[in-house]
Amino acid sequence: MSQRSQLLKGILEGCILSIIKQGPTYGYELSMKLQEFGLSDVSEGSIYPILLRLQKEKLIIGEMKKSPTGPKRKYYQLSLAGDDALDEFTHHWNAIKAPVDRIIERSNDK
């Protein structure tokens, strides 16, 4: 596995949890939101294996529901465990974000 995908996997999971927390969403909408936030480097399809894994770990709940426009779609929402996992991710992310930035900037300056 490339370094890029190693790095992305965990972070993408956190981002997906965070977006789902903002309200029930379905696959296509979720991937569009990720792109809008600037994660355009991530191939659109890569969210589906992650969504399956998050369901297996019972962090999110997927349900086939009628969409406002008519057809049935699979909507995802956060479970209680998912809420905790998101808190944990946010905590870890905040703890490493600033130091990693500083380290990389320092080495760039030299």
Partner 1 sequence: MNAKEIIKLNNEKRKQLTEENEYYYSDMLVYIRTCANKSEQQTEEVLLELLEHLLKAQEQGKTAKDVFGKDLRAYCDEVIEEIPGERTLKNVTFGIYLVVNLISIVMLSVGIISYAMHTLFDLGPNGIIFPLGTGLVIILISLASLSIWVIAIFKWIKHSTFKAKKPKKWTEFFRLWLMCVVFIGIIVATFILMPEFGMRITISFTTFIILGILLYITSILLNKKFRITK
Residue 45 CB, nearest distance to partner 1 (Å)?
Answer: 4
Q: Whole-angstrom Cα distance, residue 67 to residue 69? A: 5
Binding region for partner 1 (CB under 8 A):
26-28, 31, 43-46, 48-53, 55-56, 62, 64, 71-74
In the complex with partner 1, which residue's Cβ is closer, 44 or 89? 44
Residue 73 CB, nearest distance to partner 1 (Å)?
Answer: 7
Residue 46 CB, nearest distance to partner 1 (Å)?
Answer: 8
| Total residue count of the chain as it appears in this document | 110
H or E element in which residue 17 lies = helix 3-21
Q: Which of 48, 8, 6, 2 is nearest to 28 (CA)?
A: 48
